[in-house]
Amino acid sequence: EVQMVESGGGLVQPGGSLRLSCAASGFTFSRYDMVWVRQAAGKGLEWVSAIAPAGDAYYSGSVKGRFTISREDGKNSFYLQMNSLRAEDTAVYYCVRKIWGHGFDVWGQGTMVTVSS
């Protein structure tokens, strides 16, 4: 079964850091772009970051310079290191598999990040 499971969410103070992890299973992880999408409570979906199989990384303007995406193909996992966190980063963060030409076909269940003092 194809599955993605996030971990690492929690409560952090403004200016703090948090590292999200996503463990994938059921497919050849190294062949796919992997993506983070977030959703604030009662709001729409926001694309955050993506990493290609070769390691090329992409970021939204709202997180560029503060967040870093990485992957570890040997562990079928990828990560989002979030620094200098702000209240507006509070959201559910989903890890997602992207198929070129196909969109986002597999989503994790989401992990909650709350930035508050």
Residues that bind another protein (CB under 8 A): 35, 44-47, 50, 58-61, 94, 98, 101-105, 107-110
Q: Check: CB of residue 94 under 8 Å from CB of residue 108.
A: yes
d(CA 112, CA 67): 16
How many CA atoms does the CB half-sphere of 50 hold within 13 Å?
A: 17
Nearer to another protein (CB atom), residue 74 or residue 101: 101
SS3 for 89?
helix
> How far apart are the C-alpha atoms of 12 and 18, rounded to whole Å?
7
**Shortest separation between residue 108's beta carbon and another protein, angstroms:** 7
Task: Identify which of residues 85 and 95 has a Cβ nearer to another protein in the complex.
Answer: 95
Whichever of 14 and 64 has its CB closer to another protein, that residue is 64
At position 82, the amino acid (one-letter code) is: M
Q: C-beta of 79: minimal distance to another protein in Å?
A: 19
User: Who's near 12: CB < 8 A, 6+ residues apart?
Assistant: 18, 85, 113, 114, 115
Nearer to another protein, 27 or 107 (CB): 107
Question: What is the smallest separation between the CB atom of 43 and another protein, expressed in angstroms?
Answer: 9
- In whole angstroms, the minimum distance from the beta carbon of 49 to another protein comes to 9
